[in-house]
Amino acid sequence: MKKKYQRLRNFLAFCFRILSHVEIEGVEYIPREGGFVLATNHLSRLDTPLLGVACPRQIYALVAMKYKSRPFSRLIMEMADVIWVRRTEFDREALLGALNVLKRGDVLGLAPEGTRSPTHALQAGKPGVAFLTARAGVPIVPVAITGTEQVKAAWGKFRRPHLKVTFGKPFRLPKEGRLSSEELDAATHMIMGRIAVLLPRDYRGVYAEALAAAVS
């Protein structure tokens, strides 16, 4: 873990400890070495810093280019060593940067939904995470976050919200390398299902019925 990232992580951990109750489960599932994708649901802008505190390894995240024009945001993002991405177009440079993170044995944090959920429940996943994972040939660690969507309201009432991060067991896609569109859809559904099963029922969104059918 780079020193500047460690300093930022320590500062964020202090802030979360003072301003909230943080619960972390499943840290033992984080591989100690080797590249992997950390696939998470997305509720709030606080998800990424919370994951950075919860994960014992440095996480490299894709961050929208718009934050680069904001001085304070840019300072924080550069300390976190993020990969800048143009979300309105195909960004080959960001794609290659993400693949390089995985190939050199580091951790890439991604939200398959692609954006924050306005309902706080899972939206349909996009194929980008499955594409990157298959191309890099690395495992996926699913992770579920709850509580970050309540932070603004809780702090407004001078309360400390309960935030929870749950890591799941690593898994691999059935097929790696180049995937057809049908295979990408199936892989995306698998990834989202592994995230959904870690979440409380109210957070499962469009994957709630599929999970209920699977266990019935």
92-121 pLDDT, tens digit each: 888 899 999 999 999 999 999 988 898 899
Residue 60 in tokens: 């490299």
For the residues of the chain, what is the DSSP string, one character each? --HHHHHHHHHHHHHHHHHSEEEEE-GGGS-SSS-EEEEE----TTHHHHHHHH-SS-EEEEEEGGGGGSHHHHHHHHHTT-EEE-TTS--HHHHHHHHHHHHTT-EEEE-TTSS--TTSSPPPPPTHHHHHHHHHT--EEEEEEESGGGHHHHHHTT---EEEEEE---B--SS-SS--HHHHHHHHHHHHHHHHTTS-GGG-GGGHHHHHHHH-
**pLDDT of res. 109:** 95
Average pLDDT, the chain: 90
Buried (b) or exposed (e) across 130-156, using 16+ Cβ within 10 A?
bbbbbbbebbbbbbbbbbbbbbeebee
Q: Render pLDDT for 43-99 as a digit per residue (tens, 0 to 9).
A: 998 999 999 999 999 999 888 777 777 777 788 888 888 888 877 666 788 889 999
More confident residue, 75 or 176: 176
Report how far residue 175's alpha carbon sits from residue 178's, in angstroms, rounded to the nearest whole number.
Answer: 9
> Model pTM?
0.90
**pLDDT of res. 212:** 58
Domain residue spans in the chain?
3-215
**pLDDT of res. 76:** 81
Tell me which residue has tokens 């033992």: 28
**pLDDT of res. 216:** 39
Residue 67 in tokens: 């934050």
The distance from CA 159 to its chain's CA centroid, rounded to whole angstroms, is 26
**pLDDT of res. 73:** 77
Burial of 25 (0-12, 13-18, 19+ CB in 10 A): middle
**pLDDT of res. 84:** 82
Of the pLDDT bands very low, low, confident and very high (cuts 50, 70, 90), residue 214 is: low
Domain 3-215: CATH class, spelled out: alpha beta
Residue 62, number of CB atoms within 10 A of its CB: 23
